[in-house]
């Protein structure tokens, strides 16, 4: 059945997101102004000073218990993120291939799937650097890992807007709902280029990250509609889809 695989994978992904939303990592009181999400702050920490500030290394005003608790929560979040990446990458690969096949634009499917796999691979390498930094916070011997983190984080978040833009030709070929997704995907693609800027704008980066998450949820809903509508025997796809 067309789109069934991506829809089922999307349901698992949505369930994971809802579960994770119930156990967020709170922003520490000592964090510098900027990112509200400490995970993004960690991923985009480009200097040792930002790492030390985020984890209160050498900050005597922060109790050892508070530092230890925050580190434990961050490590737990990175472990879960390492599992989460297989879910979202799998959904994006499956949806891209099925969308390209359905509208007879296989190049869209293959390119989208390739970018989704690339994003997932960069996420794996990014998480590896996060673990190295967490293990070496007190020694400060993570300069190389921080350079790699900056590189792989930039590749991952930089490829996501390209993935959103890749879907545009296929979405434009379908009906009204897909045209709405066309606008959302195009907006996400434009917003996502903030990840390519040489200077940090935390507020734009966080909005872009939330926008891409919203796009994925909309794609899940759309995949569900297509699963029902595209598999009805003897009936064509409704024009509003």
**pLDDT tens for residues 6-61?**
888 888 888 888 888 777 888 898 888 888 889 999 999 989 999 999 999 989 89
Average pLDDT, the chain: 88
The pTM assigned to this predicted structure is: 0.89
| pLDDT at site 142 | 94
**pLDDT tens for residues 108-118?**
999 999 999 99
Q: What is the torsional sign of CA 133, 139, 144, 150?
A: positive
């Amino acid at each position: 059945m067309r789109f069934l695989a991506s829809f089922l994978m999307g349901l698992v992904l949505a369930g994971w997101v809802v579960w994770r939303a119930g156990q967020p990592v709170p922003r520490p009181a000592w964090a510098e102004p900027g990112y509200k999400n400490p995970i993004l702050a960690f991923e985009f920490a480009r200097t040792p000073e930002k790492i030390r500030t985020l984890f209160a290394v050498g900050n005597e005003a922060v109790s050892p218990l508070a530092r230890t608790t925050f580190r434990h929560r961050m490590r737990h979040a990175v472990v879960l993120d390492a599992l989460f990446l297989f879910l979202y990458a799998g959904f994006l690969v499956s949806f891209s291939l099925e969308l390209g096949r359905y509208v007879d634009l296989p190049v869209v499917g293959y390119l989208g799937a390739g970018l989704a796999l690339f994003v997932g691979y960069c996420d794996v390498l990014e998480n590896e650097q996060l673990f190295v930094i967490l293990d070496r916070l007190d020694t400060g011997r993570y300069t190389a890992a921080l350079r790699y983190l900056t590189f792989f984080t930039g590749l991952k978040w930089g490829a996501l807007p390209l993935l959103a833009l890749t879907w545009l030709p296929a979405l434009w070929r379908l009906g009204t709902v897909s045209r709405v997704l066309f606008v959302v995907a195009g907006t996400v693609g434009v917003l996502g280029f903030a990840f390519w800027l040489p200077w940090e704008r935390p507020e734009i980066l966080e909005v872009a990250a939330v926008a891409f998450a919203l796009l994925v949820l909309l794609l899940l809903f759309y995949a569900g509609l297509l699963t029902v509508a595209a598999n009805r025997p003897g009936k064509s796809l409704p024009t509003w889809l």
